[in-house]
Amino acid sequence: MANNTKNNQATVAYDDASIKTLSPREHLRLRPGMYIGKLGDGSQSDDGIYVLIKETVDNSIDEFIMGAGDKVEITIEDNVVSVRDYGRGIPLKSLSAAVSQMNTGGKYDGDAFQKTVGLNGVGVKAVNMLSSEFTARSVRDGEAHTVTFAKGLEVSDRWESGVEERNGTFISFRVDEEIFGKYAYNMDYVEQLVRNYTYLNLGLKIVLNGQEYVSKNGLLDLVNDNLSEEPLYPPIYLSGDDIDVVITHGAGYGESYYSFVNGQYTPQGGTHQAAFRASVAKVVKEFFKKDYDPSDVRTSIIAAISVRMNDPVFESQTKIRLGSKEIAPGVSMQQFVGDFLTMNLDNYLHKHPETVQVLQKKINENEKARKAISGIQKKARETAKKVAVNNRKLRDCKVHLTDSKNPLAEKTMIFITEGLSAMGPITQTRDAMTQAVFCLRGKPKNCYGLTKKLIYENEEFNLLQAALNIEDGLENLRFNKVIIATDADVDGMHIRLLMTSFFLQFYPELIRAGHLYILQTPLFRVQNKKENFYCYTEEERQKAIKKCGATAEITRFKGLGEISPEEFKDLIGENMRLDKVRLTKDDPINDLLEFYMGVNTFDRQNFIVNNLRIEEDIVDDIA
């Protein structure tokens, strides 16, 4: 067979005709993932359609940063996105080039724009070239210039004089279904994007579909609006030149950070977040004049940091991790953040003894808990290392999230499955470059109310923690998506709940950072000789039956092990259905866990009775 393969390869022509040069437009439309991450259908917050909104709005935010225009209007209707700002307006003669020619823009010399995100001259061009309809209009001092495009090719060009509109830029686009397929905007994701803009730009008003958003307290509002538990002390808000930080502690485990550079959310952190983590521990240790372990200072921390700088260097086109070692020539990021906290955090602690008392009590509790499990922890680490050499529970992938300069890093994911029967078909059909599989044995332990000691005593949790590499926080998380993949039955739902409880209890930061997902698996397959449909709801099943007609053949899936490897290619490929597990201020972790995972209570019993639904076998009359 090997010889046949070689012979077949030898017959493939490779000559001058095989060498092709693509225009920037052709390359972008052929390989959009290199510019916007992934495509998606709008069901995930990091899908490409939201990246395109952000690339457009970023330019309006840059105008605000430069002191031009304090209002941005965004409308989304019938999948057409429109963004109108009241800044300076793109120079009229350069409008067409600015929105269509790669590496063309006004942000290269550092004078017209400073401390912005859009530095590579790609953003709005990508929006243009990936849209079936695209319009750009600029108004400056009574003159207006409007250009329209289709799939990146100019269609019309119009100039006007004597217009009475305010200066600014208007961009409108419809994402090209030829590239993205069917998609829909989830307005919750767009709203969160808008809120982040207002948190980081005090005085900015954004109107989204008629609803006005504005922040009075900046980064402090962001932390307060995202707290899912009552903080142990009022959040500390410190602001300085080109830096803002918020610090508080909760009652749980782990570390949670929201980090930003020039208004760009960096969910994977980077040099500014690393400097912040190190500096917080150092300042607190020096204030108390005690050699606390840094982990004891940071456990349960909930914090945010925002910095502004010229020419930030990100580790990927999607800008989710900062790589700049210096914030300015000759000034390291560590020095800048460290000096700021040394002065301001130390001053705050001296002025607020009530916060100091609560903080020290929390650190002492963390220290006591850490020392109580130190022996077990060491043994568990050694076990995990030995198992890693020949780990039957983990089928690892070749690229990891820590390979930040690899364009595939952001596509990495791990499926947490129940049993070898489910692990088998996923392992056989997965993309071994970016998709890993971890096999659970039986039902995990209900961890509600238990301490972190459980992780090191329970082999399943210990090996999972090691596979994810999250023992010391998310800095070295190995997968961008952690996906719970269980059967679509009662046992599967129970395991899903137990695993979600594990992450809520010990690693809520994994959820806050948007890494935890649930894989939706189909309940039915409806097919005839020509068509094949996977149905996740009864409504989808009925529609598929109508499409397939009288010859429809219906299969009810009871577990992942019943789905063949060939079928899994569709279920875990580009069109996989994922539900992101999200935490908001309206989702108090302790209350949720106590209600659903605590000892039996009348409240939960009543909830079950009131929501009980008896499902009967459905007999279909397909004739």
Instruction: Please identify, among 319, 352, 371, the residue that sits at the C-terminal boundary of a domain.
Output: 371
Instruction: Please identify, among 371, 392, 422, the residue that sits at the C-terminal boundary of a domain.
Output: 371
pLDDT-derived band at 65 (thresholds 50, 70, 90) equals confident
Q: Across 12-21, 105-114, 547-556, which has the greatest mean pLDDT?
A: 547-556
pLDDT-derived band at 614 (thresholds 50, 70, 90) equals low
Together in a domain, 103 and 130: yes
- Classify the phi-psi angles of 606: left when phi > 0, otherwise alpha if psi is within -120 to 50, otherwise beta: alpha
- Measured torsion, CA atoms of residues 330, 335, 340, 346, in degrees rounded to the nearest 10: -150
Under DSSP, is residue 168 helix (H, G, I), strand (E, B) or coil? strand
pLDDT-derived band at 577 (thresholds 50, 70, 90) equals confident
Instruction: Please identify, among 371, 402, 430, the residue that sits at the C-terminal boundary of a domain.
Output: 371
| pLDDT > 90 in the chain, percent | 41
Determine the straight-line distance between the first and last CA of the chain, rounded to whole angstroms: 48
Distance from C-alpha of 551 to C-alpha of 528, rounded to nearest angstrom: 6
Under DSSP, is residue 437 helix (H, G, I), strand (E, B) or coil? strand
Whether residue 621 is contained in a domain is answered as no
pLDDT-derived band at 263 (thresholds 50, 70, 90) equals confident
Q: Are 197 and 61 in contact (CB under 8 A)?
A: yes
Show the 3-state SS of 125-167. HHHHHCEEEEEEEEEECCEEEEEEEECCEEEEEEEEECCCCCC
Tokens of residue 570, six digits: 């569709």
pLDDT of residue 388: 66
pLDDT digits (tens, 9 = 90+) for 505-530: 889 889 888 899 999 888 888 988 88
Whether residue 13 is contained in a domain is answered as no
pLDDT digits (tens, 9 = 90+) for 40-49: 788 877 788 9
Q: Which amino acid is at 390?
A: N
Task: Please name every residue paired with 243 in a beta bridge, in sequence order, or none if there are none.
Answer: 240, 307
Q: Judge whether residue 156 has pLDDT over 60.
A: yes
Together in a domain, 204 and 301: no
Under DSSP, is residue 92 helix (H, G, I), strand (E, B) or coil? helix
Average pLDDT over residues 62-88: 92
pLDDT-derived band at 274 (thresholds 50, 70, 90) equals very high
Together in a domain, 226 and 279: yes
pLDDT of residue 106: 52
How wide is the angle at C-alpha 407 spanned by C-alphas 52 and 242, nearest 5°? 60
Element (H, E) at 225: helix 219-226
Tally of CB atoms within 10 A around 602? 7
Task: Check which CATH number belongs to the domain holding 453 and give it.
Answer: 3.40.50.670
Together in a domain, 430 and 412: yes
Find all residues with CB under 8 Å of 88, minimum gap 6, and list them. Answer: 63, 66, 68, 69, 140, 167, 168
Distance from C-alpha of 236 to C-alpha of 250, rounded to nearest angstrom: 13
pLDDT of residue 618: 45
Whether residue 7 is contained in a domain is answered as no
pLDDT-derived band at 5 (thresholds 50, 70, 90) equals very low
For residue 387, CA distances in Å to 174, 242, 471, 477 come to 50, 46, 16, 19
pLDDT digits (tens, 9 = 90+) for 466-500: 999 998 888 889 999 999 998 877 888 889 889 99
Average pLDDT over residues 135-154: 94
Together in a domain, 512 and 446: yes
Together in a domain, 56 and 193: yes
pLDDT-derived band at 12 (thresholds 50, 70, 90) equals low
- Return the closest-CA partner of residue 369 out of 471, 295, 285, 286: 295
Q: Are 268 and 404 in contact (CB under 8 A)?
A: yes
Range of the domain at 532: 524-556
Q: Across 8-12, 489-493, 569-573, 605-609, which has the greatest mean pLDDT?
A: 489-493
Together in a domain, 379 and 352: no
Mean pLDDT, the chain, rounded, equals 85
Together in a domain, 464 and 383: yes
* pTM for the structure as a whole: 0.76
Whether residue 567 is contained in a domain is answered as yes
Q: Are 285 and 272 in contact (CB under 8 A)?
A: no
Together in a domain, 405 and 483: yes
Distance from C-alpha of 22 to C-alpha of 296, rounded to nearest angstrom: 54
Q: Count structural domains, the chain.
A: 4
Average pLDDT over residues 151-165: 93
pLDDT of residue 416: 94
Distance from C-alpha of 469 to C-alpha of 36, rounded to nearest angstrom: 27
Distance from C-alpha of 598 to C-alpha of 218, rounded to nearest angstrom: 37
Distance from C-alpha of 231 to C-alpha of 359, rounded to nearest angstrom: 11
Together in a domain, 583 and 498: yes
